[in-house]
Amino acid sequence: MGGVTSSIAAKFAFFPPTPPSYTLIADDTRGGQLYIPEVPRRDNVNVDVLKLRNRKGNDIVAIHVKNHKASATLLYSHGNAADLGQMFELFVELSIRLRVNLMGYDYSGYGQSTGKPSECNTYADIAAAYTCLKEQYGVKDEQLILYGQSVGSGPTVDLASRISNLRGVVLHSPILSGLRVLYPVKRTYWFDIFKNIDKIGMVNCPVLVIHGTADEVVDCSHGKQLWELSKEKYEPLWLSGGGHSNLELYPEFIRHLKKFVQAIGKSKSTTNSSKKTAAESDTQSKPSETGTSDKFELGSDVPEVSRNSLDSRLEKSRKSTKPEKSRMSTDRVDRFRRRKGLVW
């Protein structure tokens, strides 16, 4: 049964860029330190390129961007048609703008990571990144923010549901589950993947949801329902007219993210320094409006952050007219993918 589920998962969810957008080179002048030649080096940015071994035996490529002003670390799980070469400059900009250390990683079978993409492997991949942050960088759970974009919300919610003291979670264009992207099913089937709808209630930290109202790949209703099901809801951001892969271009995006990072930092600081109740801490965690105008723009030399692949538009199927399906073979999934050009 597990093999069938993994097969369905691969057909649904994984579209690694082919060929990968980057290579890895060992710099012999720096003791064999890895670097990515396809991305520009910045003298004032401290980036480690790492290879991590996950519990499945796959070598996972990760990058760690250090910000000397950081008081938190963000672990970013990217979308399903991107890799680190395409995400690199975005990660650097987020680290600078949010004043966080940031780790991003490629799933098994993505970029220069070994193995094959599967739901189970993504859970092993994020676990390897999490372990590295704790053991190599000394990150504590209360300093860690998990960030999941699109299909990356799957490993993000799964890990967050098993850690009790995270600082926060950000869900960016998240999915309720894999099958629910295709059909408006009312219950969870055994062959479904990334069952965020069943796990989000076990996340015990503030949850920020960001979703575009014009998302034609993953309907905004996914984000709204996950927010409703969250225990500790933070003010969501519904970006009017936003699509699936362009939310970073909206000024409200980085402004709201900064507000969230600052708010949960204040809340955690207050919790550690006093014995106030949870309700009082929640009240104190709400920041005042600063009125600053943050426009998040990537430079002209920045890769498209997988927008060409991620934003291949899924012509909206009229889900309300589709009956609930009790079973779906992998052949039918193949036909659906070819017909719809599904990417999420």
Active-site positions read 150, 215, 244
The count of other CB atoms within 10 Å of the CB of residue 17 is: 18
- Cα–Cα distances in Å, from 315 out to 45, 162, 242, 337? 40, 36, 16, 12
- Dihedral Cα 164, 58, 62, 117, nearest 10 deg: -80
**Strands 101-105 vs 168-172: parallel, antiparallel or unpaired:** unpaired
- Cα–Cα distances in Å, from 43 out to 40, 46, 150? 10, 8, 32
CA 170 to CA 31: how far, in whole Å? 36
| 42 residue type, one letter | R
CB 138 within 8 A of CB 116: no
CA 222 to CA 196: how far, in whole Å? 10
CB 90 within 8 A of CB 302: yes
Q: Hey, what are 32's tokens?
A: 């064999």
DSSP 123: H
